Structure 1
Amino acid sequence: MAAAKLTLPSMLNYTRSIIPSNGVFFYRDGEQEKPITVHQQTVRGTIANYGNVYKGDKQQSESDLAKQLDPANANIQRIDVCYLPDAVDTFCLRFSVTFAAHSLAPGACNDTEYAKALEQFALAYREKGGYTELAGRYLQNLINGRWLWRNRYATDKQVTLSYAGKTLVFAVAHELEHDYSAVEGYVALRDTLAAALSGNGGVLRLQVTAAGVLGFGQEVYPSQEFVEGKKDKTLASVKVAGDVRQAAMHSQKIGNALRTIDDWHSRAADYGKIAVEPYGVVAQRAEAVRLPNSKSDLYSYLKDLELWTERVTAAQGMLPAEAHYLMACLIRGGVYSGGKKEK
């Protein structure tokens, strides 16, 4: 007999279990670490966008076009830029990340029975070793440098992971799915990470540093700030030593890369792994692959929570992909409340 569908509480949220810091860019000058800086630069661009030349599908009139393309009307912009110094060819990016067991129970829930059902799902998932699968996927993204984003095109990349007095150094392959499990210390770190997420061990705090060769004086790519009402490019930075702006990577962007583990969705053959999200949004394609009509979104699974607890409990060997996705969403954290109940 199938388990009854549950009604989502009107108050339900989870504290995120993966907590990255902002990242900072620097380079090494002998034994010294020096900031890679952001500064402003004025550029004069040409008109290149579709809307300035075409009206609908037709070219604008000759007189309007002449005005648009007149050099006197050049597209002047003052933008932020970030480059390595002329004599430096290698960048470094460092951040820290904490893994904690916040997925074992909701941070807030106004339905006692539903909160208990969530705890039972987490307990069943833990007992079947599900956290080890997720820990391996998060660790893969720490090592492969996915969080470097555009800077990942660097060569000779290395990622250093430090925790509890231990240091592991990985030579980073070009392929995101390269297998690092044979590297000494990998299995112990994966199991420590799984224990931190599952509550079978203490909180895990990692310091993560990547280094890569871009070329002398080449451009570095920090996060970009969204500044309301401003079109000019503003790069993320933190102020050091007065007004010096050290290039930075947003914690949200790092977190997005770390949780890019969802290849359990229906479009995996096209998009591969995507960031864990309730509706499976693929930002680069402006598409959601886990919409409600597919019954593969987070909320569809939460309504069938007792069913998935039963399936995890009964599983022999591999757990259902849906259970991994559901737990990954709880690890992600967020507000997962249902609609308010009608009086």
Structure 2
Amino acid sequence: MDTYRHLNYMRSLSPSKAVFFYKTELSDFVPLSLEDNRIRAPKAGYADAFKNNGDMKNISALDLAYSNPQHIQSCYVPPNIKYLHCRFSLRVEANSLEPYQCEDSDVRQNLANFSFQYKEKGGYKELATRYCKNILSGNWLWRNQRTLGTKITVITSNNNEYVIDDARRVSWEDIGSEKEDKILNALAEEMETALTDPNVFWFAEVQAILETAFCQEIHPSQKLIDPIEGEASKQYATTRCPDGSKAVCFHAEKVGAALQMIDDWWDDNAYQPLRVHEYGVDRGYVVARRHPDNENDFYTLLKSVPDYIDTLENVNNPEAINNNIHYLMAVLCKGGFFSRGKS
């Protein structure tokens, strides 16, 4: 599996932006808007008082007491609004069944056989279950998960509706009651079909209703910007509505990142699932959990695909599928450019 130069897969999960809005007696959609604030923040940074080598700067107590004016954006639930909505759509396609681009016919055939065996042995159900667990738990709400109550509703293109009355009871370790477990399995079966059948056109509308406290702060996606004089140094993502107004939102990439947080295969004692990534980036600890030295990164494991095909042929139970195989297929579902270059 070392002979290819070009290899890429189209992503299998394509979420939309997740838009925040609320309802009133006059409208079912009022976009949640931003506020521009100028504040006098105190100096609190390390560099305000210390040099890079750790030595103290020649600075007085008065200098450190001066304010640090800042221009930032913020977002709060309007007064007397109790329920806030956040909604996105999800398209799922069977794009991991074979490469989108690969010039080596042997590599292409090996990868197609690999995904075929994975499909035959029921491996995609494991991936679908993990994706759906992140949907139903509200993991995609990120910092906005802490509420007085969070209701999640999923309506699929098969005209099925799945409702989690309070996603706060659902976690990665415990999906909740028997009722919630049935919802997870039913939704995962639909997604599994979409991941494995190119003739299926499957969509889902996902909506969370957040019960909020009075004027609570909301945390949409934050833009990565180069500061320009006169603009806020901290800006949030928005999407333009048909009437010209703007609603705060999560970027589609941020929603996708939350759904892809299924990799707890990186260690037998993994403390949490990581976002599926070629090198297992753990942002919390600023480390790559799948460093090539550990021989568990995507590119190292990809060389073993022919051996994993043989392994899958002897699997009689989906639970017996090797974790490295699950991880490889999760990366292929994520999609991306895996080219080796010209050399």
Judge same fold: TM > 0.5, yes or no: yes
Alignment partner, residue 159 of structure 2: 165
1:1-343 alignment runs, 5 A limit: 6-30=1-25, 32-55=28-51, 56-61=53-58, 64-66=59-61, 68-71=63-66, 74-163=67-156, 164-171=158-165, 172-177=167-172, 178-179=174-175, 182-183=179-180, 185-199=183-197, 202-230=200-228, 232-240=233-241, 244-266=245-267, 269=269, 271-317=271-317, 318-341=320-343
**Distance in 2 between residues matched to 1:205 and 1:8, nearest whole Å:** 37
Contact 1:8 1:303 in 2 (8 A): no
Contact 1:53 1:68 in 2 (8 A): no
**Distance in 2 between residues matched to 1:137 and 1:77, nearest whole Å:** 41
Could you give the per-residue CA deviations for residues 64-120 of structure 1, whole angstroms, max 9, x where no partner exists?
Answer: 23463253xx21111111111111132211000011100001010111110011000
Secondary structure at the aligned position of 2:179 is classed as: coil
Contact 1:8 1:339 in 2 (8 A): no
Could you give the per-residue CA deviations for residues 174-198 of structure 1, whole angstroms, max 9, x where no partner exists?
Answer: 4522325634554332111101101
Counterpart of 1:43, as a letter, is I
- Higher share in strand: 1
**Distance in 1 between residues matched to 2:54 and 2:183, nearest whole Å:** 59
| Larger mean Cα displacement after TM superposition, 210-219 or 251-260 | 210-219
**Distance in 2 between residues matched to 1:247 and 1:286, nearest whole Å:** 29
Report deviation, 1:200: 7.0
Counterpart of 2:316, as a letter, is Q
Alignment partner, residue 3 of structure 1: none
Report deviation, 1:214: 2.4
Contact 2:43 2:65 in 1 (8 A): no
User: Structure 2: where are the runs of 5+ without partners?
Assistant: none
TM-score normalised by length of structure 1:
0.91
Secondary structure at the aligned position of 1:121 is classed as: helix
**Distance in 2 between residues matched to 1:122 and 1:91, nearest whole Å:** 41
User: Structure 1: where are the runs of 5+ without partners?
Assistant: 1-5
Could you give the per-residue CA deviations for residues 162-215 of structure 1, whole angstroms, max 9, x where no partner exists?
Answer: 013222110213452232563455433211110110117612200000111221
Counterpart of 1:149, as a letter, is W
TM-score normalised by length of structure 2:
0.91
Secondary structure at the aligned position of 2:168 is classed as: coil
**Distance in 1 between residues matched to 2:263 and 2:310, nearest whole Å:** 22
Aligned length: 331
**Distance in 2 between residues matched to 1:237 and 1:50, nearest whole Å:** 32
Report deviation, 1:51: 1.0
Contact 1:143 1:170 in 2 (8 A): yes
Report deviation, 1:242: 5.7
Counterpart of 2:284, as a letter, is Q
| Larger mean Cα displacement after TM superposition, 100-109 or 237-246 | 237-246
